[in-house]
C-alpha cells in the first residue's frame, strides 16, 4: 500500500479495531492487540451486566404496573356495582309510587306588554337610560336590553 502515510502496524491496528467493532464478539483476538497504545473496545461481557440490570429494572417496573392496574380494575368493579345499586334505588321508588292525578301547571299571569315606542315618545329630546327606566317602570337592565336591539 504505497502512497498512504500510515505504517503497516497502524493499518493493522485500524483494521483489527474496525473488525472488532463490526463483529462485536469477544471471540476475535488478534496478536496486534498486544501492541503498545492499543485500547481494546469494551466487550459484551462488560455490557451484559448493564443490560441485565436494565432488563431486571424494567421487568420489576412492568410487574408493579400490572399489579396496580389489576388493583384499580378491582376498585373500578366495586364502584360500578355500587353505582348500579344506587341507580336501582333511584329508579325503583319512582316506578312504585305514581301520583294518581298531577296538579295542572298554571303559568303565572303575564302583565300587559310594554309599548316601548310610547315610552320613548314621552321622553325629552335628550335623555339617559335612567330616564327611560323611570318612564317605563322597568329595571335598568331591561332598558339596556331593549335599547341594544
**Successive 10-residue mean pLDDT values, the chain, 149 residues:** 62 61 50 57 64 91 94 94 90 62 70 79 86 86 80
For residue 88, the tally of other CB atoms under 10 A from its CB is 9
Cβ–Cβ < 8 Å for 140, 130: yes
In three-state secondary structure terms, 32 is helix
pLDDT reported for residue 1: 47
pLDDT reported for residue 47: 59
pLDDT reported for residue 145: 81
pLDDT reported for residue 131: 87
pTM of the model: 0.31
Look up residue 33 and give its DSSP letter: G
Amino acid at each position: 500500500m504505497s502512497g498512504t502515510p500510515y505504517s503497516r502496524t497502524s493499518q493493522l491496528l485500524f483494521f483489527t479495531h474496525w473488525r472488532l467493532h463490526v463483529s462485536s464478539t469477544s471471540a476475535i483476538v488478534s496478536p496486534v492487540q498486544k501492541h503498545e497504545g492499543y485500547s481494546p473496545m469494551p466487550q459484551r461481557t462488560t455490557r451484559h451486566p448493564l443490560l441485565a440490570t436494565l432488563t431486571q429494572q424494567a421487568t420489576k417496573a412492568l410487574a408493579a404496573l400490572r399489579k396496580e392496574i389489576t388493583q384499580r380494575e378491582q376498585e373500578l368493579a366495586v364502584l360500578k356495582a355500587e353505582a348500579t345499586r344506587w341507580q336501582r334505588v333511584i329508579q325503583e321508588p319512582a316506578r312504585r309510587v305514581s301520583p294518581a292525578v298531577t296538579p295542572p301547571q298554571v303559568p303565572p299571569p303575564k302583565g300587559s306588554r310594554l309599548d316601548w315606542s310610547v315610552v320613548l315618545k314621552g321622553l325629552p329630546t335628550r335623555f339617559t337610560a335612567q330616564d327611560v327606566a323611570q318612564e317605563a317602570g322597568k329595571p335598568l337592565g331591561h332598558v339596556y336590553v331593549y335599547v341594544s336591539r
